[in-house]
Amino acid sequence: MTPTELRGLIRTVPDFPEPGIQFRDITTLIAHGEGFRAAVGHLAKAAQQSGAEAIAGMEARGFIFGAAVAVELGIGFIPVRKPGKLPVPTIGIDYALEYGTDRLEIDPDAIRPGQRISIVDDLIATGGTAVAATRLLRKVGAVVSSAHFVIDLPDLGGATQLREQGVRVDALIDFEGD
């Protein structure tokens, strides 16, 4: 399936999780076997072209696509977790979202210094999550070569922010305006 066809599998839910947010929901995409496989295939091809040696995905929706991409490429997956979930000493970073604030943590031993990492997530909005993940991964010595998303919300400027950090960014689908 093409990215244009995949767009039709994404459900838009108005006013979730708060008034004024148009929530772009991937539940309907991942329930569609052919669509899910196609999305993972497109993301994997792009990550491979960036020379990814491992994939990092952000909890929770980034785990769905990131782990599948890692399996497709036969490389490792690094979970970038929400706070208090990892059973070892972590390093973490606080960040702002389109709705609220949160924190990400990683196990510093999960990364080899100089390792080329590609970030995979379902969606980039303000870029708060992806920029925080990039900073965290770089802090432990990773080379964050690229970031791949199913959906970009360009009006919120996240992809631009991430590119300003020197990360190559692409997305399968843009949702502009409403």
Ligand X SMILES: O=P(O)(O)OC[C@H]1O[C@H](OP(=O)(O)OP(=O)(O)O)[C@H](O)[C@@H]1O
Query: In the complex, which residues of this chain contact ligand ADE (CB under 6 A)?
Result: 21-24, 98, 123, 125, 153
Q: What is the nearest approach in angstroms of ligand X to the Cβ of residue 90?
A: 17
Residue 13 engages ligand X in binding (rule: CB under 6 A): no
What is the rounded distance in angstroms from the CA atom of residue 175 to the CA atom of residue 27? 16
Facing residues of 25 across strands? Answer: 11
Name residues contacting ligand X, limited to 55-74 (CB under 6 A): 58-62
Q: What is the nearest approach in angstroms of ligand X to the Cβ of residue 113?
A: 26
Are 17 and 42 in contact, with CB atoms under 8 Å apart? no
What is the rounded distance in angstroms from the CA atom of residue 125 to the CA atom of residue 66? 17
Residue 158 engages ligand X in binding (rule: CB under 6 A): yes
Give the residue among 7, 145, 147 at the shortest CA–CA distance from 69. Answer: 147
Report what 66 binds from ligand X, ligand ADE, none; CB cut-off 5-8 Å by kind.
Answer: none
Choose which of 35, 66, 92, 127 interacts with ligand X (CB under 6 A).
127
| Nearer Cβ to ligand ADE (23/107) | 23
| Nearer Cβ to ligand X (79/158) | 158
What is the rounded distance in angstroms from the CA atom of residue 124 to the CA atom of residue 41? 19
Report what 79 binds from ligand X, ligand ADE, none; CB cut-off 5-8 Å by kind.
Answer: none
Locus of tokens 């196609």:
38
Q: What is the nearest approach in angstroms of ligand X to the Cβ of residue 103?
A: 10
What is the rounded distance in angstroms from the CA atom of residue 123 to the CA atom of residue 39? 12
Report what 92 binds from ligand ADE, ligand X, none; CB cut-off 5-8 Å by kind.
Answer: none
Q: What is the CA radius of gyration of the chain?
A: 15
Report what 71 binds from ligand ADE, ligand X, none; CB cut-off 5-8 Å by kind.
Answer: none
Q: Is the CA virtual torsion 81, 164, 114, 123 positive or negative?
A: positive
What is the rounded distance in angstroms from the CA atom of residue 148 to the CA atom of residue 32? 20
Q: Catalog residues that contact ligand X under the rule CB under 6 A.
A: 58-62, 97-98, 102, 121-130, 158
